């Protein structure tokens, strides 16, 4: 056939190579066109650039959906099904062909055509990377030229004959599709196909967010679309909960609650996810928020919090058992190694005994074995066993200075040395941390007696470790930092157990090293108040108020309780107001002793002299 100009469009010539069947089809927007194509250069050799038959699959485009090569819609719109035609197109129509060809080649190779691209248009990526990755396409980019397309139209599909993707839908079509997809997701949930249901809910959310992105934030339509997204997001999160994808639930519910802070179901599902991944603090916060927003759910939240406490207990005991099993295995392996070393030493001694006289040598060898065993033991552990067998120069006496003022608990409690036997430095440090966590857990469970025993045991290990290191040094200071929270927690347990005198003594020692520690002063003040030591309690409460002025209301409340306790004590002792006043302000009273103590401290204080040269 002769070449003809196509629809009088400039720069396009058409030549029909094989006629098609039936009449020219109607190409409505969204019509699916399936075709083969071959691209040739307009030169003497008619060099082939691309051929869809070599790729093994035909090309597909959707009519009226802004395909990059707009001229192809014009070419295919002039063909019948089964027709084969050759089109010559001028350079004004083929400028974007290298980008289209690159994408089709990557798809044929099974790759993502957008992989490695920045978020910009196709031309921007071309300029950014300076190459398409194919030399012949780079040449077409540098010098645009006319191209020849040989096309065969294989199929024209009805717009409603296939599953349309979201980018192909109009706004009204997307809004009509959302309820259908929502119902499909609900049916899949009833069939317990949570993975498929989650994909349906996610598809509906994406459709609504696409429509919402074209609206003005704050408008009525924007707000209504946001409300339509909420149930879909919650259903998706419920599916993820069933699939045990807890971190996915936390991520989506957090994003939802940032926009809708009064969503009760969002808080509840996030709380369930936090509880499943052992985030106790976050789970309790969200459960409490649910109870605050909807008071009718208080009983449900109570059951959930109880179940959370039980699960945390189970996890705690499981970790404890696992940790102790690891320690026992390590101790057994250490004992086996020690037994092997002793057997080797005995064999060496036996060989030496054969070369010397029998009885005398055997006694000497026994002494040597004892000495070697003593040397094999760590000198740090020997120091931790006590100071009874130390040389005279190293003995601790009550008259020594402040550095040796406090005896370590390993000296007071001989069981500390036996507990430390067979454990190295790192094992004891891990035990200290483990005992501290165990004690903290027991405090939450209001088991103060058991918690105090854990803290005491941890402090014994700290004392043993401090005996192993030099007094002024980084290790000593680090262990003091470990000791501080253990001592404060022990003091809190003793306070709850009403061992007030022990609390006073413990915090007196602590405040010698950590002057002005708020918690120590506050705990000692409460202990003095419980013992009805009115002056000492007031002194400590005044210091608490100075250290943290925000505690003033609590201090006033504690002082009122103290006054009530003192009054009850005086009533029980049948003391009148006159007698109590005389005890305080009379000769030899508490107030007079306090004033005398201040005067003596002022006398002993050396005056500061200023001299002028």
Q: Taking phi first (over 0 means left), then psi (-120 to 50 degrees means alpha), and beta for anything else, what does residue 2 get?
A: beta
Instruction: Supply the pLDDT for residue 270.
Output: 94
CATH architecture of 166-305: Alpha Horseshoe (1.25)
CA distance 75 to 91: 15
- CATH no., domain 408-584: 1.25.40.10
CA distance 46 to 38: 11
Q: Which 3 state secondary structure label does DSSP give 89?
A: strand
CA distance 33 to 153: 7
CA distance 400 to 402: 7
Q: How far is CA 548 from the centre of its chain?
A: 32
Instruction: Supply the pLDDT for residue 65.
Output: 62
CA distance 154 to 18: 13
Give the 3-state secondary structure percentages of the chain, helix then strand then coil, rounded to 5.
65, 5, 25
Instruction: Supply the pLDDT for residue 599.
Output: 53
10-residue mean pLDDT profile of the chain (613 residues): values are 60 89 80 90 91 87 74 88 92 87 81 58 52 84 91 82 59 82 91 92 88 85 89 93 92 91 92 90 92 90 89 77 61 62 60 46 40 38 32 34 36 51 72 84 86 88 81 77 88 90 90 87 90 86 88 84 81 67 59 52 46 39
Tokens of 547: 């250290």
Is the alpha carbon torsion for 59, 65, 70, 73 positive or negative?
positive
Instruction: Supply the pLDDT for residue 207.
Output: 86
Tell me the H-state helices in 163-297: 171-190, 194-212, 220-242, 246-259, 264-276, 280-293
CA distance 500 to 80: 100
Strands 147-157 vs 84-89: parallel, antiparallel or unpaired: antiparallel
Bridge partners, residue 4, by sequence: 14
Tokens of 423: 């454990």
Closest CA to 190 of 177, 178, 205, 200: 200
CA distance 566 to 571: 9
Sequence-separated (6 or more) residues with CB below 8 Å from residue 595:
none
Residue count of the chain? 613
Tokens of 469: 């290191």
> Running DSSP on this structure, what letter comes out for residue 610?
-
Sequence-separated (6 or more) residues with CB below 8 Å from residue 62:
30, 31, 32, 33, 168
Instruction: Supply the pLDDT for residue 605.
Output: 47
CA angle 293, 294, 295 (to 5 degrees): 115
Closest CA to 204 of 185, 221, 190: 185
Closest CA to 528 of 519, 511, 540, 518: 540
Q: Dihedral (C-alpha) 552, 558, 559, 560: value to the nearest 10 degrees?
A: 110
- CATH no., domain 4-112+126-157: 3.10.50.40
Type and span of the H or E element at 125: helix 122-129
Tokens of 157: 């599909």
CA distance 258 to 270: 13
Q: Where in the chain is the domain with CATH 3.10.50.40?
A: 4-112+126-157
CB of 112 within 8 A of CB of 106? yes
Type and span of the H or E element at 547: helix 534-547
CB of 30 within 8 A of CB of 159? yes
Q: Where in the chain is the domain with CATH 1.25.40.10?
A: 166-305, 408-584
Instruction: Supply the pLDDT for residue 161.
Output: 56
Instruction: Supply the pLDDT for residue 50.
Output: 92
pTM of the predicted model as reported, rounded to 2 decimal places: 0.43
Sequence-separated (6 or more) residues with CB below 8 Å from residue 455:
435, 436, 439, 486, 487, 489, 490, 493
Task: Using the structure block, give the residue that is written with the tokens 């909960």.
Answer: 241
CA distance 369 to 343: 11
CA distance 135 to 243: 48
């Amino acid at each position: 056939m002769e070449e003809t100009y196509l629809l009088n469009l400039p720069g396009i010539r058409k030549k029909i190579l094989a006629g098609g069947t039936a009449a020219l089809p109607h190409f409505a927007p969204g019509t699916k066109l399936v075709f083969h194509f071959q691209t040739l250069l307009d030169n003497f050799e008619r060099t082939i650039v691309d051929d869809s038959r070599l790729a093994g699959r035909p090309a597909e485009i959707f009519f009226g959906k802004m395909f990059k090569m707009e001229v192809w819609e014009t070419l295919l719109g002039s063909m019948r099904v089964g027709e084969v035609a050759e089109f010559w197109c001028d350079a004004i129509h083929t400028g974007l062909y290298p980008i289209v060809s690159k994408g089709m080649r990557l798809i044929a190779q099974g790759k993502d055509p957008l992989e490695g691209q920045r978020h910009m248009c196709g031309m921007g990526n071309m300029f950014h990377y300076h190459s398409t990755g194919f030399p012949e396409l780079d040449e077409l980019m540098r010098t645009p030229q006319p191209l020849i397309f040989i096309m065969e139209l294989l199929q024209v599909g009805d717009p409603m004959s296939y599953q349309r993707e979201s980018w192909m839908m109009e706004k009204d079509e997307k809004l009509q599709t959302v309820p259908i997809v929502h119902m499909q997701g609900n049916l899949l949930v009833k069939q317990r196909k949570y993975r498929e249901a989650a994909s349906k809910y996610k598809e509906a959310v994406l459709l609504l967010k696409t429509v919402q992105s074209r609206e003005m934030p704050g408008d009525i339509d924007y707000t209504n679309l946001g409300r339509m997204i909420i149930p879909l997001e919650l259903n998706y999160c419920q599916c993820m909960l069933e699939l045990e994808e807890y971190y996915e639930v936390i991520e989506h519910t957090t994003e939802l609650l940032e926009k809708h802070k009064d969503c009760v179901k969002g808080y509840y599902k996030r709380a369930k996810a936090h509880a499943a991944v052992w985030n106790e603090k976050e789970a309790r916060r969200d459960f409490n928020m649910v109870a605050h927003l909807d008071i009718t759910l208080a009983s449900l939240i109570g059951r959930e919090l109880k179940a959370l406490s039980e699960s945390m207990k189970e996890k705690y005991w499981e970790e404890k058992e696992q940790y102790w099993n690891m320690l026992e295995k390590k101790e057994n392996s250490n004992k086996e190694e020690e037994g092997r070393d002793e057997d080797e030493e005995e064999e060496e001694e036996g060989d030496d005994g054969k070369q010397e006289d029998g009885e005398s040598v055997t006694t000497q060898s026994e002494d040597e074995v004892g000495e070697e065993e003593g040397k094999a033991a760590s000198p740090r552990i020997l120091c931790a066993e006590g100071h009874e067998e130390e040389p005279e120069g190293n003995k601790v006496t009550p008259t020594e200075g402040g550095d040796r003022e406090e005896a370590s608990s390993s000296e007071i409690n001989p069981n500390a040395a036996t507990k430390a036997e067979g454990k190295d430095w790192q094992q004891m440090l891990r035990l200290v941390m483990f005992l501290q966590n165990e004690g903290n857990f027991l405090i939450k469970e209001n088991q103060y007696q058991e918690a105090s025993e854990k803290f005491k045991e941890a402090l014994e290990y700290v004392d043993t470790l401090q005996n192993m290191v030099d007094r002024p040094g980084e290790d000593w200071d680090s262990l003091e930092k470990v000791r501080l929270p253990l001592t404060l927690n022990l003091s809190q347990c003793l306070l709850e157990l009403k061992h007030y005198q022990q609390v006073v003594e413990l915090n007196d020692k602590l405040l010698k090293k950590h002057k002005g520690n708020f918690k120590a002063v506050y705990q000692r003040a409460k202990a003095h108040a419980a013992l009805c030591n009115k002056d000492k309690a007031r002194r400590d409460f005044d210091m608490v108020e100075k250290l943290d002025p925000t505690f003033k209301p609590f201090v006033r409340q504690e002082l009122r309780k103290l006054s009530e306790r003192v009054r009850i004590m005086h009533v029980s002792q049948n003391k009148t107001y006159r007698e109590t006043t005389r005890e305080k302000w009379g000769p030899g009273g508490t107030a007079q002793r306090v004033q005398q103590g201040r005067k003596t401290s002022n006398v002993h204080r050396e005056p500061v002299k200023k001299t002028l040269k």
